[in-house]
Structure 1
Amino acid sequence: MNDASEGAVIVQIDGRIAEIGLSNGALNLVTRALLRSLNKAIDQLETQADLRCVIVHGLAARAFCAGSDINEFADIFADASEKKILFEDMVLRRLARLPMPTIAAIDGPALGGGLELALACDLRVCRAGVTLGLTESRLGGLAGNGSLRLTRLVGPARAKELLFTGATIGAEQALAWGLVNRIAENGSALPAARELAKAICARGPLSNRFAKQLVDAAQDQPLDAALSLSTVVQQKIFDSRDLHEGVAAFFAKREPEFLGR
């Protein structure tokens, strides 16, 4: 396992799975330091073709991430776009655009900017009893990118209710609404996320990366453009060695050994 510490984030790589551990105090508040560290972690991981899954988690903190550090707000009122909004949105968009599947392992509250961070991941695994919410309206604030990503997951009516009231919901309700994918009923979300990552890693890495592109395209692009993309990536799949390996393994009744090419 390779470990690298970058300020408020610790990156660990174990084989084909990378973990980004948030390490910014007991609540893992979203600060400029955390965002800079997360951005550098993304720099490190996004070009590693051998990585098949990335897990984001809160290490041993009380919260996965309890949102923005409001102590920083006094310095940014006049220049919020320059000092916070644009950079934070860029980092979250880069996280969302990592080419490999990503999982948020949520073992403590994910609130405000913390839930926005989790929403930028492809999948969310939650410990039972954890609370989640975009609570910015309690301070007269707004979850910008989180409002959009939340709506795509739970629909406009539920998203508006959470945003308008600043309410939090439990893991069970979040699962019923489609906000999280799984609940770790018998302990920490991190081991459950690792098991899910192992299952992902056992499948074709090219297939998973292209599947991520197509699912995102289904939401972001007109249908005809997304269908054109599906044709292109399907051809790449049929040109790949991995598909031939998968077929050979099927007939030989053995596990395939995918190489990602």
Structure 2
Amino acid sequence: MSILRSFGSFALEVREDGVAIATFSRPPVNAVSLSVYEDIGRFADHVAGDDNIKCIVITAPDNARAWCGGADLHEFKGMTVEKRKERYRFINAQLPRFHQIDRPMIAAIRGAAIGVGVMLAGMCDLRVAGEHAQFACPEVDYGLVGGSAGMFAMLKMPEAKVREMVYTGRTFTARELEPTGFFNYVVPRAAVLPLALDLATEIAGKSMPALRARKLASLMQEGPEWMEAYLEAQEMSSALVERPESEAAILAALKGKRKRKQD
């Protein structure tokens, strides 16, 4: 029998075999607001204290427009340097707790992963993606600096492709990014969640102490450098938010979204 829990935008189902399915649902596009970061922290704290959870699959509802649609741009209207730094302070109290969860995590990505969505996927141990799922680091389009490059480097993605992603802000499909090694598997959309659950079931059959120790060892192997680069990128991004082109790009993006919704 499964145990069901809710942490705001995350619904958590824990199966008897130790596989936990965390479903991120914040319609319409699973955008990440400050409240979502708070939910992430609560979710991470719960997992830390639940010895029934041995492996976690992070997914989105079947009909979701995105696995994670990036930062909620509504919160960027009228952004100032100090507000941006305050936002980062809040994020930095939540996001590392997700990254440091001492259980294996599998990202089952059937829709788009944008901006922080790419970060969250990269913080998972394994990634299974639909071949047409889209990935982008579009911060440059808003006159800002994204923090994904350090994580990509830690994951040993080809530097040329990383720079193409962060300089152009272009959207790539999982199939296009498959040669970078970012994914464990790229499969048809319908196969993503079943494959992720098969992997989780196999992992959950292992010793809990061994899984925890292995996860902590993997985190130690990563080292602190990529997180240091992420924090430095935050400082640089904060210095850019008051520039007119940044504010204009945010407002244009929001206007475009409203128009598409009306159409």
- Tell me the residue number matched to 2:83: 79
- Tell me the residue number matched to 2:30: 28
Please give the per-residue CA displacement for 1:95-121, whole angstroms capped at 9, x wherever unaligned: 111001011110100011111111121
SS at match of 2:117: helix
Counterpart CA distance in 1 for 2:8 and 2:120 is 18
- Tell me the residue number matched to 1:168: 171
Count the aligned residue pairs. Answer: 220
Structure 1 regions of 5+ residues with no counterpart? 223-261
Counterpart CA distance in 2 for 1:125 and 1:90 is 28
The residue identity in structure 2 corresponding to 1:12 is E
After TM superposition, the structure 1 = structure 2 runs for residues 182-197 of structure 1, keeping only pairs within 5 Å, are 182-185=185-188, 187-197=190-200
Match of 1:131 among 130, 134, 137: 134
- Tell me the residue number matched to 1:257: none
The residue identity in structure 1 corresponding to 2:152 is L
Match of 1:53 among 55, 78, 81: 55
Q: Which moved more, 1:118-127 or 1:202-211?
A: 202-211
The residue identity in structure 2 corresponding to 1:170 is T
Counterpart CA distance in 1 for 2:112 and 2:20 is 22
Would the aligned equivalents of 1:96 and 1:122 in 2 still touch at CA under 8 Å?
Answer: no
TM-score (norm 1): 0.78
Residue 200 of structure 1 and its aligned partner are, at CA, apart by 0.8
Runs of 4+ in 1 over 6 A off after TM superposition: none
Higher relative contact order by CA 8 Å / sep ≥ 6: 1 or 2? Answer: 2
Counterpart CA distance in 2 for 1:108 and 1:221 is 30
The residue identity in structure 2 corresponding to 1:117 is L
The residue identity in structure 1 corresponding to 2:52 is D
Match of 2:40 among 38, 41, 58: 38
Counterpart CA distance in 1 for 2:189 and 2:118 is 22
Would the aligned equivalents of 1:131 and 1:169 in 2 still touch at CA under 8 Å?
Answer: yes
Residue 24 of structure 1 and its aligned partner are, at CA, apart by 0.7
Structure 2 regions of 5+ residues with no counterpart? 226-263
Counterpart CA distance in 1 for 2:78 and 2:61 is 29
Change (3 A) 1:175 1:89: farther
Please give the per-residue CA displacement for 1:226-253, whole angstroms capped at 9, x wherever unaligned: xxxxxxxxxxxxxxxxxxxxxxxxxxxx
User: How large is the RMSD of aligned CA atoms in angstroms?
Assistant: 1.9
Counterpart CA distance in 1 for 2:60 and 2:92 is 20
Counterpart CA distance in 2 for 1:186 and 1:219 is 30
The residue identity in structure 1 corresponding to 2:184 is N
Counterpart CA distance in 1 for 2:159 and 2:94 is 25
Change (3 A) 1:67 1:219: same
The residue identity in structure 2 corresponding to 1:73 is F
Change (3 A) 1:80 1:221: closer
Residue 216 of structure 1 and its aligned partner are, at CA, apart by 2.4
Counterpart CA distance in 2 for 1:64 and 1:104 is 9
Change (3 A) 1:55 1:166: same
TM-score (norm 2): 0.77
Residue 75 of structure 1 and its aligned partner are, at CA, apart by 5.0
- Tell me the residue number matched to 1:93: 96
After TM superposition, the structure 1 = structure 2 runs for residues 62-73 of structure 1, keeping only pairs within 5 Å, are 62-73=65-76
Identity %: 25
Residue 176 of structure 1 and its aligned partner are, at CA, apart by 1.5
